Amino acid sequence: RGGGKAALEVQNAILNINGVTITNLASSGYGILPSGNTTLNVYDGIIEGGTSAISSNATYAVTPQINIFGGQIKGHYYGMYLPGQTVTTISGGFVEGINMRMGNVRVTGDAQIGPARMTATDSDDIGVEINTSGNIWLGDAITMLVGQYAASQTQSDSIDATLTIEENAKVSSNF
């Protein structure tokens, strides 16, 4: 589960968020963790996490879907951490940085992707992190480090990753 508990974890369901605030500011916490074959739809509201506001699960053989139509997605590190084969569409709202390791992310419409808050320090061993798994805190608006994130050597997740930015979407390190 990415090392922390979520304020709201949903598995194999549809979750619609509209006009509410969901917060988990624990140092290893997530706002929402859609796991299994969950569909998460965010229309409006604020989602905050001590690590990431939204983090998908890298569980073998599942494909969560995340749709951001509006709202604010804010995390202490990244707004969204996507380690698995998540299908994500962001067509509105503001996301404070995206860190993806695999899956498909489409940024379109009125979406705004700003920089992540936290960046790597001199004590972070980025090489180890890239070669294993987990978040990398580079501070970019979008960090795409494609790599396997399987539970064991006998399971293998596809390491396909696609990032599409189109239409009026804005991606900037200066929002």
Q: How many helices (H) and strands (E) does the chain have?
A: 1, 16
Look up residue 35 and give its amino acid. Answer: S
**35 and 59 Cβ atoms separated by less than 8 Å:** yes
- The number of beta carbons lying within 10 Å of the beta carbon of residue 125 is 10
pLDDT confidence band for 2 (50 / 70 / 90): very low
Tokens of 17: 């968020």
**68 and 95 Cβ atoms separated by less than 8 Å:** yes
Is the pLDDT at 12 greater than 50? The verdict is: yes
Per-range mean pLDDT, top range of 11-15, 61-65, 138-142 = 11-15
Tokens of 151: 């539970």
Tokens of 8: 């709201």
Mean pLDDT of 93-110: 93
**How far apart are the C-alpha atoms of 131 and 152, rounded to whole Å?**
15
DSSP for residue 101: S
Q: How far apart are the first and last CA of the chain?
A: 30
Percent above pLDDT 90 for the chain? 39
Per-range mean pLDDT, top range of 27-36, 140-149, 161-170 = 161-170
- Mean of pLDDT over the chain: 81
What is the structure's pLDDT at 119? 52
By CB atoms closer than 10 A (0-12, 13-18, 19+), residue 150 is: middle
pTM of the model: 0.83
Is the pLDDT at 90 greater than 90? The verdict is: yes
